[in-house]
Amino acid sequence: MTTYEMQQEILRIKKEQNICILVHAYQTHDIWEVADYIGDSFGLTQQAAKSGAQTVIMCGVQFMAETVKMLSPEKKVILSHPDAGCPMAEQYDREMILQMREKLPDYHVVAYINTTASLKSVCDVCVTSSSAVQIVRALPYDKILFIPDSSLGSWVKAQVPEKQIELLHGGCPTHQRITAAEAQAAKAAHPEALLLVHPECRPEVTALSDYAGSTTGIMAFAKKSDAKEFIIGTENSIVQHLQMECPEKRFYPLSKDCICGNMRLTTLADVYDCVRGVGGKEIEMDPQLIAEARRPIDAMLQYGG
């Protein structure tokens, strides 16, 4: 079977069975081509909730599939590859955050949406990479413990200096691999290019950027900009996608190492297995966990996330 034939089969089966395929922007182009929606983590979740399909396949990682299930508990949600986790989302557990809450009783806990449902259930409000600054500014409290990404947390802290923000160690190993020296070298090699980064990058890398935002934010910026060259500081799949969408512009990876092994686990063949009902992993969640983990997401929506 060729790639094209497999894609045609996936499209046929998903139409016949009314399946919605959500594809995170870090997936490869052959998977993009069978998507109903492509986007960043939370955008996809909202698309799934609006979709009339009863079965949703999430091509991404575990926390994304959990968030889809939390917002659409009546739907059957399948994660495209059973082992696709996220080391950042899973680096703390519920008990560790509960202990921190005891140590810092007058702090409210803000969680990046890229966390497990279990972690969300002990937090006050979630934020996305694009809404974090706006939401933290709008919160009616001044003392904040920001989890789990210290890079995104530092970025927020720099822009909301009026609040007392505590951070934990850790973050996304894929983005944190990029160093400021690499950013300076890339800028020197491409002096006309704008540097666009995800705020999961180290603060010293983000400080050198011309734009920092979510995956879809970076793509929208590059498409709209009049500039002709861009250095991309996020998962390297985005370099290829942008190059295909804007062939008249030039895109360079900030680092050859910015590759997420978990995001790259899913192949087109996995998606084919999922639509045939012989692959992926169905997300099962306890209704009480759904209710507890939804609370900070609803709070996020209330504050304009």
Q: Which is nearer to ligand SF4, 107 or 305 (CB)?
A: 305
**Is-contact 153 165, C-beta < 8 A?**
yes
With CB under 5 to 8 Å by kind, the binding choice for 91 among ligand SF4, ligand 13P, none is: none
Site for ligand 13P in 71-130 (CB under 6 A): 114, 128-129
Q: Which is nearer to ligand SF4, 264 or 295 (CB)?
A: 264
Site for ligand 13P in 29-58 (CB under 6 A): 40-41
The separation between the first and the last C-alpha atoms of the chain, rounded to the nearest angstrom, is: 43
With CB under 5 to 8 Å by kind, the binding choice for 215 among ligand SF4, ligand 13P, none is: ligand 13P
Dihedrals phi, psi of 15, to nearest 5 degrees: -70, -45
Residues that bind ligand SF4 (CB under 6 A): 61, 86-88, 114, 172-174, 235, 260, 262-263
Per CB under 6 A, 292 contacts ligand 13P: no
* Residue 214 Cβ vs ligand 13P, minimum distance, rounded to whole Å: 4
Q: Work out which of 91, 214, 236, 266 binds ligand 13P, going by CB under 6 A.
A: 214
* Residue 220 Cβ vs ligand 13P, minimum distance, rounded to whole Å: 12
Q: Work out which of 66, 182, 200, 270 binds ligand 13P, going by CB under 6 A.
A: 200
Per CB under 6 A, 131 contacts ligand 13P: no
* Residue 95 Cβ vs ligand 13P, minimum distance, rounded to whole Å: 24
Could you give the count of Cα atoms lying within 13 Å of 97 in the half-sphere of its Cβ? 25
Per CB under 6 A, 149 contacts ligand 13P: no
Q: Which is nearer to ligand SF4, 87 or 203 (CB)?
A: 87
* Residue 114 Cβ vs ligand SF4, minimum distance, rounded to whole Å: 5
Q: Which is nearer to ligand 13P, 40 or 270 (CB)?
A: 40
Q: What's the CA gap between 265 and 258, in Å, rounded?
A: 15
Sites of contact with ligand 13P (CB under 6 A) = 40-41, 114, 128-129, 172, 198, 200, 214-215
